Structure 1
């Protein structure tokens, strides 16, 4: 396996067309057909596709199954799955979660906690089946990351506090932010993955579009930014492909002679 090439794919804005997603809210229908064809050709050529996402594992299993991918880095590197088996999990210290939960409640912030038993919400009512509302006086346990959806400046909700000194805030979308340990990223998840599989870094590629892909881009052998990626990420990339909705993944895989 040491000589096998591996590609780490972000989901939102990379595997998934954000325009189609906004219209349909169907994540499987938002994967361009050209991307599905590219994934099949990669596997046929002996290239391993791996999902590397900020999303929790349970939230992406249908997408992974749809693409025939069983290797995952989820929760921004807090969990690593190889062959459908979890080989690594990391949690935010409980005292930090206690502070975040209490402080965010005082600020009126509505947040999600990514836990080993799924997503739990600070909201009293939730619309999504995959999310459970916290019971009164319940404090989330075994949290891998905290997800915040807000159009306010994130620092208004979580200003620098001593209790958060070991936590970083990463922008993962237009109004989405992820809170996780400073030493954790998609890159640290990839490092665990490569250690488990015995793969050298120079055999790795990464595709992404947002700022939570920066560390991943700095770590892998070849970094490919989608045409719809942020300026920050494009500056970190070795190569910029077309937009996700313009056959960006297929185009890049073809140009890089991976398919």
Structure 2
């Protein structure tokens, strides 16, 4: 039997608008895994939060977190690449000077500059920064104490979105760092040359799954590399237009069980 590796983003993809994995989708993924196929979440969330969702689908599920900086099986992390410390320090200094909210992630801790954004305190969005600990790093000395633990980061602008364009242009001059976006109001900070596609490739090779047998689902810019790399790249109905143009298929929206409908038809 040809084995497939199914990789899905979380927010706006696997999760519905209530931040839940739809029951029919979960049942089908479990059925496919029982038949010998593989499943992995592939998200920008930090490892702790991503792993919780992966295990809620199946205890044998794989976890790709921090936009490809981390990949893990049930036995633990087997792929981990952190962002260069010098780049993180420069980004921290710029964000503090510009008074822009920034978050830096280890595997289980969120370090944040400024106040936690209001929407991260609300029930609908607080899971996006779900972690064991949240640590304020408004003091530079505190930041430097923890920088060795930081794998990747996120810059958020809630009010003047146009500021992000100029800020990203400035930060992209830095060496050894890479930027993507998972939402119109953020900038994702990653190690150079790392994205979800790198981790998906690493996982597929580990499992012996052919590239043409990788099915990837996503909805945002940070899913683009994964969608292009997969043999079968699927954009959600709610995905941005750039992703839809690059995908092999477009399915229903995340709130209409797009993953379930595509996989049910495929298998």
The TM-score with structure 2 as length reference comes to 0.85
Q: CA offset at residue 221 of structure 1?
A: 0.8
Contact persistence 1:167–1:182 (CA under 8 A):
yes
Residue 58 of structure 1 is matched in structure 2 by: 48
TM-align CA RMSD? 2.2
In structure 1, which of residues 32, 38, 48 is the aligned counterpart of residue 38 of structure 2? 48
Residue 24 of structure 1 is matched in structure 2 by: none
Q: CA offset at residue 232 of structure 1?
A: 0.8
Residue 89 of structure 2 is matched in structure 1 by: 98
Residue 113 of structure 2 is matched in structure 1 by: 122
* Structure 1 residues 123 and 95, CA gap change in structure 2 (3 angstroms): same
Residue 194 of structure 1 is matched in structure 2 by: 204
Q: Which moved more, 1:165-174 or 1:95-104?
A: 165-174
Residue 23 of structure 1 is matched in structure 2 by: none
Task: Give the distance between the partners of 2:262 and 2:171, measured in 1 at CA.
Answer: 42
* Structure 1 residues 71 and 80, CA gap change in structure 2 (3 angstroms): same
Contact persistence 1:38–1:249 (CA under 8 A):
no
Kindly indicate whether residue 155 of structure 2 is the aligned counterpart of residue 132 of structure 1: no
- Unpaired segments ≥5 residues, structure 1: 21-26
The number of equivalent residue pairs is 247
Structure 2 residue matching 1:86: 3-state secondary structure? strand
In structure 1, which of residues 208, 224, 229 is the aligned counterpart of residue 218 of structure 2? 208
Task: Give the distance between the partners of 1:122 and 1:6, measured in 2 at CA.
Answer: 37
Residue 146 of structure 1 is matched in structure 2 by: 153
Relative to total residues, which structure has the larger helix share, 1 or 2? 2
Task: Give the distance between the partners of 2:52 and 2:115, measured in 1 at CA.
Answer: 27
Structure 1 residue matching 2:234: 3-state secondary structure? strand
Q: CA offset at residue 160 of structure 1?
A: 2.3
The TM-score with structure 1 as length reference comes to 0.87
Structure 1 residue matching 2:83: 3-state secondary structure? coil
Task: Give the distance between the partners of 2:172 and 2:29, measured in 1 at CA.
Answer: 44
Kindly indicate whether residue 103 of structure 2 is the aligned counterpart of residue 112 of structure 1: yes
Runs ≥4 residues deviating over 6 A: none
* Structure 1 residues 117 and 248, CA gap change in structure 2 (3 angstroms): closer
